[in-house]
Structure 1
Amino acid sequence: MKISRRRFLGHALGVSMVGLTSYEAWRYFVPGRPPISVDFPGKAIGHAIRDAQMQPPANIPTRYVNTVIIGSGAAALSAAWQLSRQEMQDYILLDGAERNGNNRGESQFGVDYPTGAHYLPLPSPESEHIRELLGDLQLYQHGVYDERALLQVPNERLFYQQHWQSELLPRRDADSERFFRFINQLSNQRGADGKRLFTIPLDLSSTDNHWRRLEQITFAHWLQQQGYHSPTLLWYLDYCCRDDYGQGISQVCAWAGLHYFCARGNEQNEHGSVLTWPHGLHELSQRIRAFCRLQPLENWPESSQPFKQPYSMNAFVASIEEHAQGVRLLVCTGQQKYFWLEARHAICAMPLYIAAHVVKNIQQYGFKPESHMPQYAPWIVANFLLRGMPAESRHSRLAWDNILYQGAGLGYVVATHQQIRQGPPAYTSFTAYTALNQDTPANVRRWMLSASPEEIYQCAAAELEQIYGVALRQRILQARLSLRGHAMAVPQPGYLANQGLQALRSYTGRLQFAHSDLSGYSIFEEACYWGKRAAVQILAQQ
């Protein structure tokens, strides 16, 4: 009997695997996992501060400055931008545990990629501070945005029923049509105080109680009350909430759920045009540093003369205490050298879960951590560095944002998307975002600390391997997994009425607070708003 080549190869493979265990046979067909690198940004320093493990030596020196900014995320750099804009020079920015915070980017194999935030939607009508910033950064001139930063098409696609489609809403039905008609009506509606109901920044939203009371129930509860039952619509709304808030419709409040869709106005919604770069908002951070002419400072000069230019320093703060003449800080540099810093003014741009352990007696500002602390959503941001591009189906092109219907993650972004028009790159990174809301945030953080790199990889890569198969591993040069246990504040029911956040927002002493946490949720626009506002307060005190 003549045997075909296919049958021969199958027989040969079968003979060669006789005697192998089932696991060894599986390994024969399934590529091994690629090299895995796990990063916990800020964990070591954050836990040392939390557990009061900092042990400064005796008789450390004291340094002096007019203003210190504590942190280097979006709020901190926005404060620096505003100080420099008003030609203030005598200030220093202390980078903290992670330079550029959640906007940090990295580069490997000639590929830039984000480890956190990766895009900025075009500003809402009320976000004049963002247009002002983008103008100073040469990204918005004469009413036109830099086309090199505008997202190129195809911008997004959804893997639904084994096929890719360009629209993220899986399908249109009566429920989805009714919901979006309501959103269009609500987007420009104003409250009794004349303000739009939902705005970015949140601080400028209407306080009309008729609508604010929606913060008392979950978005899921409100949707049920309104008779929305479509599985595809509910999945889409849940996805959007997980994408912006880190938790789904069963965790965030109804006001926040509607805010997501209404705050940018009818002209610009969340899935409209955005500004993005290969390494995400790291680009904005670096542009702000250049605008401010921030110079790195390794060793503090012995002279007590005012700075003639602003500096940044690889250092974090272990304690902050405000007094009548200013603010006293205990600073530790990247070289583990301690010193006291006396500043006339300070901007605390750290997340509140850190500030609660650093600011001495933070309760005196009206913030009680045990009752006012926001809940924080844990995330995995995974960069899969690839040699070339995996094959796509004939009927779909790789988009910037690629999402799997009913996937546990939030899809993956192609870091080199903006460069694809120049030809397929030799290397790229697929950046997969996973908002871990399958359990309570506290339990997820415990899992993060105990899980093996292989377990974390499996969680982060599950959607990619479902779409491309495990053969994708043969292209992966390295998996860079960033675990952010406190990635973002969650706008749960009651967050608008949080008196602790209100107290920090309204405080006008020598110590100012600036972070997106003050808004109860985490986006660049909110962080920039509070950073600019804190700087304006300090400039008024000069």
Structure 2
Amino acid sequence: MGLSRRELLRTSGLGALALGCNRDDKPSSAAPRFTGQSPERGHLLRSAALLDAPIDAHIRAGVVIVGGGAAGFSAAWRLQKLGLDDFIVLELEPEIGGTARSGVLPRSPHPMGAHYLPAPPRECSELLELLTDLDLLVGYEHDGTPEYRSTAICAAPEERHFHAGTWHPGLYPSDGQTPAQEQQWERFWDQLRELDRVRDHDGELLFRLPVRRSSARLRGLDQLSMAAWLDEHGFDSWRLRWYVDYACRDDYGCTLAQTSAFAGLHHFLARGLEDTREDPLLTWPGGNGELIASLRARVDLGARLKTDHIVYAIDPERGQLRVRDLASERSISIEAQAILWAAPRFLLRHVLPRDRDPLSADALTYAPWLVANLELREPPGGVGATLAWDNVPIIENPAARNLGYVVATHQEGRDRAIEGGAVITYYQPLVADDPAGLAQHRAHLLGSDARGLSEQVLGALEHMHPGIRRHLSALHVHRWGHAMIRPVPGHLFGGALELARAPIGCVRACATDVGGLPLFEEAFYAAIDAADWALDRIGRA
């Protein structure tokens, strides 16, 4: 027997969130609506009618890139940089961006998903080259320190947290901690500093970007959960464990127990430790969608970018794609020498011939996310620390945790006048221990109406800002059924990612998920490696 809606709410993170927050039952004046990615479009791959449709046109291209997000446009940039223009980009949605897509409310642009990029380490020379091409990296200091465009650097204050009715600066809840908890916090950072000092036999850091460049020395930690690693080292302070759990949820959509210890430590070490790193955080009102838009402008594809196009069949031996133009309702056959699959990897098996994908259907798992943008007539306030870019609640009940919100209008005053009100972006990964739990969250997320999800968002925000709905003028809800690849124990170095990246005939997958971690850097490096492979395949390397 199936779960009732009440049971589904009770057992899902969304239901726990709604029940565990202060509520102001006065209805808001804004009618919520869904915007962004369309789940219905992705489900068209299940339609037999597509395969039966006659072909209306035939075209050829040297390389076809499937997916117009971070990976797709990074691959396009790389191909063009190395002298190839004979390629096209196909995007399912009417707008580009993927999980880095931007939206807009009357007050301001806003992110629908990914919303920042830490300035990359100096060894990420290719990524630094991209940022230079996009006029984000504008020069270097005499000691080689990169200088970034000031309007892209996150303005202070960056972070605050809400605990016991008061806002505090930073993310660690130090107020009221015991001497033993403080000692654990200091010992945790001592442990990280020790790992940061260690080098492999080539003198390189143990944890690197992309993650597959990391040293083999500690890869065994991938078999262990981050919770187990903390246990082994005697870290039982709830404050420290909340802080590390927040980092895992924010970067990976996983809890401590669901995150590989290697991935958890990679978060703190791959870009250098926070207490020693001086490189800035790059962000934009529209989040990383503005970064993708800059990439699009730089590559300038013109008619070679085809939105509203769904790829529904690929012959990897012959290099043929069958594509439906959803706007004109025409079916197209495309012949290519190389196909770069920059869409989610789990979709590839649905367009390949039966049994052609060597990757098992359950090899990769993905976290669903609920994201919402709210336009407010008054900016959020609160007692204590002033409004920051990132505003995070400390919630002791793990089932009710969310990541709080970022302020899309935080950067104002640098390149535009500060206006009244604010736009805030709420984030919540829907975590679960197994595929069945993830499927349940996904079904609830995609089966709920906009009003129901908006009430849960408002309930979470009222925990921090009672009465916030009285200031609400607009609310957009974004549903991500497969937002993030999950680096569960055994995921990074267990062999599945190598299989996911391996060419299948003339097809090579190169989206963020085959990198292993849901980071822009992983999408970028998977894409440029695939672009180099494509150039070699067509004899243009």
TM-score normalised according to structure 2 size: 0.86
1:356 matches 2:349: yes
Structure 2: which amino acid aligns with 1:277? W
Listed as ranges, the matches of 1:243-262 within 5 Å are 243-262=250-269
The match for 2:367 is 377
- The answer for the alignment partner of 2:116 in structure 1 is 119
Q: Distance in 1 between matches of 2:275 and 2:319?
A: 42
For 1:273 and 1:485, the matched residues in 2 are separated by: 31
Q: How far apart, in 1, do the equivalents of 2:478 and 2:54 lie?
A: 36
1:403 is matched with which residue: 375, 389, 392? 392
Counterpart for residue 24 of structure 1: none
Q: How does 1:124-273 map to 2 (within 5 A)?
A: 124-143=121-140, 144-171=147-174, 173-191=182-200, 195-208=204-217, 211-266=218-273, 273=280
Question: Are 2:100 and 1:103 equivalent residues in the alignment?
Answer: yes
Deviations 1:443-463 (A, max 9, x none): 101211333333311332233
Distance in 1 (CA, whole Å) between partners of 2:530 and 2:139 is 28
The ranges of structure 1 where at least 4 consecutive aligned residues each deviate by more than 6 angstroms after the TM superposition are 267-272
SS at match of 1:369: coil
> Aligned partners of 1:520, 1:538: CA distance in 2, in Å?
21
Change in 2 beyond 3 A, CA 1:46/1:313:
closer
**1:107 and 1:238, CA in 2 relative to 1: closer, same or farther beyond 3 A?**
same
Q: What residue number does 1:532 align with?
A: 528
Q: Counterpart of 2:316 in 1: which secondary structure? A: strand
Q: How far did 1:499 drift?
A: 2.5
Query: Do the aligned partners of 2:372 and 2:477 also contact (CA within 8 Å) in 1?
Result: yes
Query: Hey, what does 2:424 align to over in structure 1?
Result: 430
What does 1:266-281 correspond to in 2, within 5 Å? 266=273, 273-281=280-288
**Which letter does structure 1 place at the counterpart of 2:242?**
W
Task: Note the alpha carbon deviations across 1:222-280, whole angstroms, 9 max, x for none.
Answer: 21121111010001110110000001101111111111111112378899621000000
In our comparison, the structure showing a higher alpha carbon Rg is 1
Aligned partner of residue 104 in structure 2, secondary structure: strand
Contact 1:75 1:516 in 2 (8 A): yes
> What's the counterpart of residue 300 of structure 1?
none
Task: Please tell me the root mean square deviation across aligned C-alpha atoms, in Å.
Answer: 2.4
Task: Give 1:510 deviation, angstroms.
Answer: 2.8
TM-score (norm 1): 0.86
Match of 1:314 among 284, 294, 308: 308
Aligned residue-pair number = 495
**Shift, 1:466, TM fit:** 1.4
Q: Please tell me whether the aligned partners of residues 28 and 472 of structure 2 are also in contact (alpha carbons under 8 angstroms).
A: no
Q: Partner of 2:273: helix, strand, or coil?
A: coil
Structure 1 pair 353/54, CA: closer, same or farther in 2 (3 Å)? same
Query: What is the letter of the counterpart of residue 150 of structure 1?
Result: I
CA distance in 1, matches of 2:92, 2:438: 24
Sequence identity, in percent? 33
TM-aligned CA distance change 1:535 to 1:224, over 3 Å: same
- Structure 1 pair 347–138 and aligned structure 2 pair: CA distance change class (3 A): same
1:294 is displaced (CA, Å) by 1.4
Which of residues 511, 517, 532 is equivalent to 2:513?
A: 517
Shift of 1:519: 2.0
1:333 aligns with 2:325: yes
Task: Check the 8 A contact 1:126/1:199 in 2, yes or no.
Answer: no
Give 1:57 shift: 2.0
Unmatched tracts of structure 1, length 5 or more: 1-26, 298-309
> Using the alignment, how far apart are the partners of 1:189 and 1:28 within structure 2?
52
For 1:442 and 1:140, the matched residues in 2 are separated by 41
Map 1:342-353 to 2 at 5 A: 342-353=335-346
Distance 1:102 1:350, change over 3 A: same
Residue 501 of structure 2 is matched in structure 1 by 505
